[in-house]
Amino acid sequence: MINQATLEFSLQHRNDDPKSLALSVRPPADVDFAAALQQITGWQAARKKLPSWAECDDIIYPHHLAMEQCSSEHTARYKAQVVARLLGKRAKEGTMYDLTGGLGVDFSFLSPLFGKAVYVEQQHELSEVASHNFKMLGLKNVEARCATAAETLHSIEHATMIYLDPARRDAHGGRTFALSDCTPDVLSMKSELLEKADMVMIKLSPMLDWHEVVRQLGDVRELHIISIKNECKEITPVLLSASCRDNLQRTADSRTPETKIYCINDNQEFSFTFSVTTANNDTRNERAVDDQADCVAGDFLFVPNASVMKAGCFEEMSSRYGIRQISDNSHLFVSPRFIDDFPGRAFRISAISSMNKRELRQTLGNITKANIAVRNFPMTAEQLRKRLRLSDGGEDYIFATTDDKGKHILLVCKKP
């Protein structure tokens, strides 16, 4: 662990640039300079990623990989809300195990929901750091163990919930994307997990195909696609044991065996149900030709957020909001009316142009700069910017796409 002199030094210099500090400062002899720089770097990352941790001066930050891989406070708080909704008062009477503790961020937000919470981490250094941090955060009724997920699972008699965040890197540090390649292998552990726990929550890579996750795991009650600032961060399936499913199915909102998919982006939420038995019958949302839309100036343009894009729930969105896509692969929606709770961004179309040079000159007029995005278009945003000779930024937004007739068009928009 870090000595007091090192902690005090890191506190004094935590607003300094670590790289400049490493080159310009000669620390006192009793300061572990490498550890201090690690603390400073960790705290600066925590200010944005873990603000409530950053407010606690006595938190110890481990190596950068642990900071990089840990959940953000936003996603951890959201998962705690999901657990509270599903388990309610049962959590306070029960026990939670986090079998892949890591830095302990998720554990720190989940554990207060339970009567007892057990953190498990096989790396001794991380386990020590987490144990210290839990005390600094004032967590009660928690226990930290240095052990493997498998041996701990074998020893559990019963848990109200088990949480896992399988490592997504191989022995050489390379990223893995298949569910079966994660460590520990949750597929091989699934039967024992559901025998031992009422509920299992698993944090997975956003690179995974969620359809395959639901199919491979089975028993997935809910699946949460979580984004922050329109960047997809994780896919989190929730599995329930048979007894827990029976209890929940007595409630009003739990009458079907389908999986409920939640698309979360900051404060935006869109949800729909998915059934593996009908997965091959258009659940990927291929759209019918007669369900595509012409758009005109004055219409509103709707751009789905990252979680909705990951889910691919375009048909559900069309049905829910009464809006239509410009074409199958554009994933841009139009409507003559504004939708206040649309899960994404909204714009007002001020003009529409083909790629004809004369029409472009007439449409773009005095526009000298714009925010450009492309969807199902043969040029990149940067290539189109050079073609149009526009600088970046400003109040105008140009969406380049291909309509249902195969015509390349530009939608010139402003925020409503």
| Residue pLDDT, tens place only, 171-198 | 555 666 688 888 999 999 999 999 999 9
Indicate if 267 and 317 belong to the same structural domain.
Answer: no
9 touches 28 (CB < 8 A): yes
Instruction: List CB contacts of 35: < 8 A, sequence separation 6 or more.
Output: 2, 6, 10
Nearest CA among 334, 340, 79, 373 for reference residue 204? 79
DSSP H or E stretch at residue 397: strand 391-402
Indicate if 325 and 238 belong to the same structural domain.
Answer: no
pLDDT at site 1? 79
Say which DSSP state 411 is in. E
Determine the structural domain holding residue 348 and report its residue range.
299-414
Residue 210 placed within a domain: yes
Which residues does the chain have with pLDDT short of 70? 169-177, 245-257, 277-293
- Position 265, amino acid: N
Residue 282 placed within a domain: no
Residue 51 placed within a domain: yes
Give the separation between CA 228 and CA 224, rounded to whole angstroms: 13
Give the separation between CA 225 and CA 126, rounded to whole angstroms: 27
Alpha-helical runs (H) found in 168-236: 186-196, 210-217
Residue 320 placed within a domain: yes
Indicate if 26 and 93 belong to the same structural domain.
Answer: no
Using DSSP, state whether 269 is helix, strand or coil: strand
Count of structural domains, the chain: 3
Say which DSSP state 72 is in. P
- Position 44, amino acid: Q
pLDDT at site 168? 75
Indicate if 233 and 333 belong to the same structural domain.
Answer: no
Q: What is the pLDDT of residues 68-119, one digit of tens each?
A: 989 999 999 999 999 999 999 999 999 999 999 999 999 999 999 999 999 9
pLDDT at site 36? 93
The CATH number that applies at residue 228 is 3.40.50.150
Q: What is the pTM of this model?
A: 0.91
Instruction: List CB contacts of 147: < 8 A, sequence separation 6 or more.
Output: 120, 121, 122
Residue written as token pair 């726990």: 197
pLDDT at site 172? 54
Q: What is the CA angle 409-414-416, rounded to 5?
A: 125
Indicate if 216 and 325 belong to the same structural domain.
Answer: no
Nearest CA among 239, 135, 146 for reference residue 196? 239
Residue 67 placed within a domain: no
